[in-house]
């Protein structure tokens, strides 16, 4: 299955810049990051099956971030795009890495925003064994327990304002996220999540444990930027050190004072970092 692309703006003949978002974060929630690129690039957003209009239930078979990456490459080929700058956040970064590593002919550069690349001895932070001995992804379990219906955007805001995930978000940032993360229920009775929780869980369960092999496969000629949040727990300092050891030519930048979701909480700085790097590598 190929993905859908969302035309976000920019000149039609501009170099394509494709944003692959984090799990459960609609592309629209990244607007403050991608808007500064509209004067020069043809900015595109990746729409996975779970966020298509009236999405079906996710497949019963486990997801695969490798398949997602292959699908990104297939989508780019279907749209006949070349010289693409791939920008991915979190699991979108890993899927972008897969796409570029396996199909480098379509890509100009790769930008990874806090990629979810976990060392083998840290996998206990991702998975646990339930009472029946079944291996479970911690965030997939939480996703399936998530509240999905709200009477209004204000109700969602008040509910999320107290969540640990959003504690360092400004009110303005959270309100912007609320507007992008909800869609009206068909009968007009409130709102539901734009990214369904069952699809969120499905994507978590496709976690790519061998993403380091993709990095080793990556064409040495492809410029790579890695942006890490100083306070992130998704791409640890040890993981960053291993990344640098495998790919010493990569540019690595740390966003001071922010965690895994710095594209939402520090969008202007995120855009500046990416823009400066693209200028350096001729992107």
Write the pLDDT tens digit of every residue in 116-137: 999 999 999 999 999 999 999 9
pLDDT of residue 2: 60
DSSP 192: E
The 10s digit of each residue's pLDDT in 100-109 is: 999 999 999 9
Please, which residues have CB within 8 angstroms of residue 61's CB and are 6 or more apart in sequence? Answer: none
**Is the pLDDT score of 187 beyond 80?**
no
The pair phi, psi for residue 237, each rounded to 5°, is: -60, -35
**Is the pLDDT score of 1 beyond 60?**
no
Q: What is the DSSP string of 240-282?
A: HHHHHHH-TTSEEEEETT--TTHHHHSHHHHHHHHHHHHHHHT
pLDDT of residue 55: 81
58-62, 211-215, 265-269: lowest mean pLDDT where?
A: 58-62
Q: What is the mean pLDDT of residues 87-100?
A: 98
Question: Could you confirm whether domain 4-119+207-281 is CATH 3.40.50.10540?
Answer: no
CA–CA gap between residue 207 and residue 205 (Å, rounded): 5
Q: What is the mean pLDDT of residues 232-260?
A: 97
The 10s digit of each residue's pLDDT in 9-40 is: 999 999 999 999 999 999 999 999 999 999 99
CA 208 vs. chain centroid, Å, equals: 14
pLDDT of residue 87: 98
| Confidence category of residue 188, pLDDT binned at 50, 70, 90 | confident
pTM of the model: 0.96
Angle, helices 171-181/153-161, rounded to nearest 10 degrees = 130
Residue boundaries of the structural domains of the chain:
4-119+207-281
| Confidence category of residue 186, pLDDT binned at 50, 70, 90 | confident
Q: Dihedral, CA atoms, 88, 57, 5, 224, nearest 10 degrees?
A: 20
Percent of the chain at pLDDT > 70 equals 99
CA–CA gap between residue 90 and residue 24 (Å, rounded): 11
Q: What is the mean pLDDT of residues 3-10?
A: 92
């Amino acid at each position: 299955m190929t993905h859908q692309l969302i035309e976000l703006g920019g000149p039609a003949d501009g170099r394509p810049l494709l944003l692959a978002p984090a799990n459960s974060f609609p592309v629209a929630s990244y607007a403050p990051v991608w808007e500064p690129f509209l004067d020069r690039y043809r900015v595109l957003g990746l729409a996975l099956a779970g966020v298509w209009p009236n999405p079906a239930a996710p497949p019963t078979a486990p997801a695969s971030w490798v398949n997602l990456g292959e699908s990104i490459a297939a989508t780019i080929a279907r749209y006949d795009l070349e010289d693409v700058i791939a920008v991915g956040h979190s699991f979108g970064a890993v899927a972008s890495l897969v796409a570029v590593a396996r199909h480098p002919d379509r890509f100009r550069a790769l930008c990874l925003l806090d990629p979810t690349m976990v060392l083998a001895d840290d996998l206990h932070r991702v998975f646990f064994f339930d009472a029946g001995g079944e291996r479970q992804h911690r965030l997939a379990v939480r996703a399936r327990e998530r509240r999905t219906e709200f009477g209004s955007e204000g109700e969602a805001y008040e509910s999320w304002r107290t969540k640990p995930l959003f504690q360092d978000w400004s009110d303005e940032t959270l309100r912007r996220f609320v507007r992008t993360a909800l869609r009206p229920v068909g009968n007009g009775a409130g709102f539901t999540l734009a990214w369904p929780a069952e699809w969120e869980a499905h994507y978590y369960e496709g976690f790519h444990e061998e993403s380091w092999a993709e990095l080793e496969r990556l064409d040495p000629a492809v410029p790579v930027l890695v942006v890490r949040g100083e306070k992130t727990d998704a791409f640890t300092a040890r993981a960053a050190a291993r990344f640098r050891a495998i790919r010493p030519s990569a540019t690595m930048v740390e966003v001071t004072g922010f965690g895994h979701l710095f594209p939402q909480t520090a969008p202007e700085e995120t855009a500046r970092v990416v823009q400066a790097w693209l200028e350096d590598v001729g992107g």
